[in-house]
Amino acid sequence: MNELALGLESSMKPFLWVLQPPTDVGSCALNDFLPQGFRARAERRGRIVMGWTDQLAVLSHAAIGAFLTHRGWNSLLEGIFSGVPFICWPITVDQSFNTKFIEEEAKCGLRIWKGANKDEIGRVITNVFDEEDEAGKVVRRNTIKWKKLAEGAVCEGGSSAKNFDSLVDDILSLQHLKDKPIVLGQGSPT
């Protein structure tokens, strides 16, 4: 967590950090697990929120320029629908697969590698915003493309809307079975 804090600081970018306190330390104050003096140094351009927040509402706000996340599936979907470039820092297995998709296939995010130091973290954050950085340009361009694809999928006639309608139709078609008994164990398994 110290390297992330120092990386945010070195990027010189404004930030909102929604933070869950470490679960292995019981109750503690925010300053107990951030670098000494970090909050004071960063208070003019950063805010830290402790506990839960409405992630989709935050990501949908026009002031959000990037989303640094471990890259769980729900975060992936919310980030794409919000049109926010990703800074991916995977920790567990599924997050690594999701990050691979975001970075290599969709090309709408950059990765922070496990064990990264504050300089590497600050560089990745800066690259997402840098108008001259080629990787950042690609990420920002593809983020817009994927947002439009997602919007198209959920609008009337879109692929997700059609699939949802099909699911509802399938469920409704089972209504005629609701009053029939379920019989278990009939016949031989051979």
pLDDT digits (tens, 9 = 90+) for 3-25: 999 999 999 999 999 987 666 65
Range of the domain at 98: 2-176
**Residue length, the chain?**
190
Kindly tell me if the per-residue pLDDT of 146 is higher than 60: yes
In a domain, 186, yes or no: no
Instruction: Evaluate whether residue 60 is within a structural domain.
Output: yes
In the structure, what pLDDT confidence band is assigned to residue 145 with cuts at 50, 70 and 90?
very high
Q: How many domains does the chain have?
A: 1
The answer to the question of residue 6 being in a domain is: yes
Which runs of consecutive H residues, i.e. helices, occur in the chain? 2-11, 38-42, 55-59, 73-82, 93-100, 118-129, 134-154, 159-173
Report pLDDT for 180: 72
Rg over CA atoms, the chain: 22
User: C-alpha angle with apex 123: 4 to 58, nearest 5 degrees?
Assistant: 55
pLDDT tens per residue, range 60-75: 999 999 999 988 889 9
Q: Does a structural domain hold residue 184?
A: no
Q: Say if 62 falls within a structural domain.
A: yes
In a domain, 121, yes or no: yes
What share of the chain has pLDDT > 90, as a percent?
Answer: 63
Burial class (CB in 10 A: 0-12, 13-18, 19+), 96: middle
What is the reported pLDDT for 171? Answer: 87
Q: Is residue 55 part of a domain?
A: yes
Report the pLDDT value the prediction gives residue 188, as an integer from 0 to 100: 54
Q: In this predicted structure, what is the pLDDT of residue 65?
A: 94
What is the band of 133 on the pLDDT scale with cuts at 50, 70, 90?
very high
Write out pLDDT tens, residues 164-175.
999 999 888 887
Q: Is residue 80 part of a domain?
A: yes
Domain at 127, CATH number: 3.40.50.2000
